[in-house]
Amino acid sequence: MSIWPSLQLFNMLRARRSLALLCVVVLCSTLLTSCSPSEKKPATTQPNVLFIVLDTTRADRLGLYGYDRPTTPFLDQWAKNALIFEDCQSVSSTTVPSHASMFTGLLPSSHLTDNSQPTLEDEYETLAEILGKNGYRSFLFSANPFISADNNFDQGFDAAEHPWSEQHLAKSAAIIKSKIDPADKSSELPKKILSGKVESWAIKACGEVAADAMVSWLDRSNGDKPYFALINYMEAHRPLLPPRRLREKFMTDAQINRSYKTDVSWVRMWEYVFGLFDYRSEEEEAINLTYDAAVAELDEILQKLLTSLEKRGDLDNTIVIITADHGEHLCDHHLLDHQYSLYQPLLKVPMILWHPKNIKPGRNKHPVANIDAFPTILELANVATQPVPNEYAQSLLHTRDRRVRHSDYFAPPNNPIKDVKRKNRKWDEKPFLRRLRAVVDGQYKFIWASDENHALFDLSIDPGEKNNLFKNEPEIATAIEAQIIPVTKRGPNENGSSKGPQSANHSQRMNALGYAGTEDTDENTDADSNGIDTDSNEIVE
């Protein structure tokens, strides 16, 4: 009897059983994949973006830019794995126009957002809005009261928090109180703190709160999306309040005591700026050393933020950009703070780009600007956007072609002048009621002034800007002046809408930082009160 039919039948049955078994395995695998609650979706390929603004931080006070005091040991080491831009210029010397430019990619001469018109109009599409439309979740933490919902700078962010936010206020208060020394009479801040008016002073020098705030937001936001986070730190902004232990890093006991006694309170500081009195050399030294201690505190805060994110894995596939909105005068040119000038101490800022996957570490000597963060982030995030007409912001990934850079100072604040005038009735304030525009073209820097007291400097041989060549080199001055970009003719709210009146608490916060002077007034005064004609964008003589 042939066994062929039996073997054929046996193979058919075995094949059917194998097929059935395979179907069961596939089905079970599918069910397990779809039903398992712990299984995550595939990670996004878009990079995270961490944008850090060190408010009021000069590049020349960081170790990685050649400073000889150990202000930034952590950042110096961390930046060895980053691309450091050695020649970065801010587009403005004050907070509002500089942040508005970094948020929109527009020059101050186009967005016209400044201290007299501090609200970022809805018409401008911000970095947060563009990234949000392209799959990003976004978070803003700002210690600067200008960069908040009160001035519409939260535009496009999913969440915006501050040291004075309800969930952070107690910790902010504890941090800032811990840094007060009973001997500190240097500014109005210690007195404000001891008065117990928490809402009006717990607004700066609380940068370490940002790390916990960001981690909390990361935990509760949609982890399937890449994140865009912008953090503004105010430790280097007046009034300075570095802890004693960091002063000890840079000062002798005698210098520490002098740092607490040197009067840089609101009116006294502006009297110095306006030439009504002089600090002694040892007092100028104390001012400089206190600033160094504040920068050292920033370095510690950056270490906490970046190391905590790294341990969590939140720096994986992450772009980190660190820059500043502007620098600070430290008695150079007989100036303090960051008003009434476009000198290099206000314009030369750090620019550090870190993205291990796509950025080769090193140093770049080509001229760049802090506004360049806008197109750089969009390019690295693989987000396409239409080029902005007549604008010069360019990606930091393509730096060879730029030669000319622009910086503007459009709205001289009224309150310093008003408060000093109360005590000095005969003082002539007119030299300070002017607008300034700067163009750096290669080695030359031209500063246009609305009162026609223009200046020209050769930065290659005169980095301190002490020798004005304007009268000696008229042809060079004229050629550079011709490159100034015309101001957009647009008044406040003409084309866009803004948010409603600012809150009383916002005014208190501005006052606590000195933005509003010694009175409970608002620095955001009318342009006319600053002597500025809003139609012509020129100084009213």
- Indicate if the pLDDT at residue 30 is higher than 50: no
Is 256 within a domain?
Answer: yes
Mean pLDDT in residue range 382-406: 76
Buried b / exposed e over 454-475, threshold 16 CB at 10 Å, is: bbbbbbeeeeebeeebbeebee
DSSP letter, residue 117 = B
Q: Which residue has the higher pLDDT, 42 or 333?
A: 333
CA 96 to chain centre: 10
Mean pLDDT in residue range 263-273: 96
- Indicate if the pLDDT at residue 283 is higher than 90: yes
What local confidence, expressed as pLDDT, does residue 387 receive? 55
Q: Which domain holds residue 495?
A: 48-392+490-526
Q: Which residue has the higher pLDDT, 99 or 540?
A: 99
pLDDT band at 204 (very low <50, low <70, confident <90, very high): confident
What local confidence, expressed as pLDDT, does residue 452 receive? 96
Buried b / exposed e over 55-70, threshold 16 CB at 10 Å, is: bbbbbebbbbbebeee
Task: Write out pLDDT tens, residues 43-55.
Answer: 458 999 999 999 9
Reduced 3-state DSSP string for 277-324: CCCCHHHHHHHHHHHHHHHHHHHHHHHHHHHHHHHHCCCCCEEEEEEC
Mean pLDDT in residue range 200-219: 87
Mean pLDDT in residue range 459-478: 97
- Indicate if the pLDDT at residue 153 is higher than 50: yes
- Indicate if the pLDDT at residue 117 is higher than 80: yes
Vertex 441: Cα angle to 470 and 117 (nearest 5): 85
Rounded Cα distance between 350 and 89, Å, is 8
Q: How many separate domains does the chain show? A: 1
Q: Which residue has the higher pLDDT, 474 or 200?
A: 474
Residue 345 maps to which CATH number?
3.40.720.10
Q: What is the mean pLDDT of the chain?
A: 84
478 is written with which tokens? 């004229």
Is 5 within a domain?
Answer: no
Q: Which residue has the higher pLDDT, 52 or 495?
A: 52
What local confidence, expressed as pLDDT, does residue 26 receive? 37
What is the maximum span of the chain, computed from C-alpha positions, in angstroms?
131
Is 39 within a domain?
Answer: no
CB atoms closer than 10 angstroms to residue 3: 8
List % helix, strand, coil for the chain (3-state, nearest 5).
40, 15, 45
DSSP letter, residue 405 = E
Instruction: Give the rounded percent of residues in the chain with a pLDDT score beyond 70.
Output: 79
268 is written with which tokens? 């006294």
Is 128 within a domain?
Answer: yes
Residue 166 in contact with residue 259, Cβ under 8 Å? no
What local confidence, expressed as pLDDT, does residue 388 receive? 54
- Give the closest residue to 204 by CA, choosing from 241, 171, 230: 241
Describe the crossing of helices 209-220 and 281-312 by its angle, rounded to 10 degrees.
20
- Indicate if the pLDDT at residue 507 is higher than 90: no
For the chain, the straight-line distance linking the first and the last C-alpha, in angstroms and rounded, comes to 122
Rounded Cα distance between 352 and 93, Å, is 19
Lowest mean pLDDT among 191-200, 252-261, 291-300: 191-200
384 is written with which tokens? 């396409």
- Give the closest residue to 153 by CA, choosing from 176, 177, 124: 124
Residue 437 in contact with residue 483, Cβ under 8 Å? no
Highest mean pLDDT (candidates 299-303, 385-389, 421-425, 532-536): 299-303
- Give the closest residue to 363 by CA, choosing from 81, 90, 67, 52: 81
- Indicate if the pLDDT at residue 9 is higher than 80: no
What local confidence, expressed as pLDDT, does residue 414 receive? 79
- Indicate if the pLDDT at residue 241 is higher than 90: yes
Q: Which helix (H) or strand (E) holds 364?
A: strand 362-364
Global pTM value: 0.85
Judge residue 344's burial from the number of C-beta atoms within 10 Å of its C-beta, 0-12 exposed, 13-18 middle, 19 or more buried.
buried
Q: Which residue has the higher pLDDT, 72 or 12?
A: 72
Is 466 within a domain?
Answer: no
- Indicate if the pLDDT at residue 390 is higher than 80: no
Is 472 within a domain?
Answer: no
What local confidence, expressed as pLDDT, does residue 199 receive? 58
Is 310 within a domain?
Answer: yes
Rounded Cα distance between 374 and 74, Å, is 26
Is 28 within a domain?
Answer: no
446 is written with which tokens? 């031209």
CB atoms closer than 10 angstroms to residue 96: 27
Q: Which residue has the higher pLDDT, 26 or 104?
A: 104
Mean pLDDT in residue range 149-169: 94
